[in-house]
Amino acid sequence: MRFGLALPHYDFSLPEVRPIRFAHTAEWALRAEEAGFDSVWVSDHFFYSLARYGLGEELLGSLEPMTLLAALARTTSRVRLGTLVLGVPFRHPAILAKSATAIDLLSGGRLDLGLGAGWYEEEFVKFGYPFGTLGERFSRLEETVAALDELLAGGPVTFEGEYVRFVEAYDHPRPVQEPRPPIWIGAKGGDRALRLAVQHADGWNTVWRWAVDAYAERVRRARELCQEHGRDPATFRLSIGLYSVIGEDERDLARRWEAMRVWAPGAAVDPLDAFVADSLSGTVEQVGERIEELAALGVEEIIVSPATLPFAIPDPTMVDLLTEVVMPAARAG
């Protein structure tokens, strides 16, 4: 099993750190690399609001992901660098291809390109992007992924869609990775998303809370779609991002959970047992069992957000517990 860390890159990501700065995110990327994480990941929002968690209407700042990864490509040396995920409506696919290629070259071939349709309407409105319906946004995603699948492999590419049009376009210089950097579809796992991933991507990622049984059903469906479209299911990659609250034992877990409730009460309203049931949470033994369950389903990487919010690290000692106890045990097993 591989492990990734959701990097802090929002104003809410680190206690008593506001505004977020590159130095804060870079420090955690280096700590992740040194501690043995296989990858680090950033998301894509012009700003973020915690209103859905009952934590106020303030619009919180963020660092732009592609610029951030370009800088981290030169700051780090080993960890893979990923987007979880880019909203395709925000960038023309030609610019996205050139940016992705540059990061892959700067990093020596360490980029994973996660792509999604976008969901946060307020940022679309404030920055003048058409939000449209979910179906329209997903159509744009489908065209972008299909076009990038060809363009990142070099081209020339001629593509005629409603949203994407190329006429003998090409992407030179080429990325380091062959035939191109891995493309991941980030989505909840409906048939339309899984079909797109099967046809044009390397794999499927989903976040941040999943019960194993519900996730297993979607994996089963993805493998059915592979067979329907003539793809070997063994080539279809799976990764999952999960919130994580871990304790050495039941007492320590209860203490850490209470600390999370104090830090972000609106994000920890469920009973602890409910949170444990659909996240990478619990005692170290429980977390080890959850990792084994996911590995049995074919998951190759778990991307951890060690909190009850995405891309946040309110308690660094919990990351230490993950890297010093949980990850070594999972790899040894």
Q: Dump pLDDT digits (tens) for 19-49.
A: 999 999 999 999 999 999 999 999 999 999 9
Nearest to 41 by CA among 22, 58, 25, 17: 25
pLDDT tens string 49-105: 999 888 888 999 999 999 999 999 999 999 999 999 999 999 999 999 999 999 999
Answer whether 37's CB lies under 8 Å from 323's CB: yes
Q: What pLDDT is attached to residue 125?
A: 97
Mean pLDDT of the chain: 96
Bridge partners (DSSP) of residue 5 are 40, 304
Q: What pLDDT is attached to residue 197?
A: 98
Q: Residue 245 CB: number of other CB atoms within 10 A?
A: 23
Nearest to 44 by CA among 129, 133, 139: 129
State the SS3 of 112-152. Answer: EEEEECCCCHHHHHHHCCCCCCHHHHHHHHHHHHHHHHHHC
Answer whether 127's CB lies under 8 Å from 87's CB: no
Q: What pLDDT is attached to residue 205?
A: 98
Q: How confident is the model at residue 268 (pLDDT cuts 50, 70, 90)?
A: confident
- pLDDT > 90? residue 266: no
Half-sphere exposure for 226 (CA within 13 Å, toward CB): 18
Helices 93-107, 65-75: crossing angle, 10 deg rounding: 10
Residues shown for the chain: 333
**Residue-range domains of the chain with CATH:** 1-39+51-62+207-333 (no CATH), 85-201 (3.20.20.30)
pLDDT tens string 101-112: 999 999 999 999
Q: And the tokens for 109?
A: 């071939």
Q: Is the dihedral of CA 247, 253, 257, 258 positive or negative?
A: negative
Q: Residue 284 CB: number of other CB atoms within 10 A?
A: 18
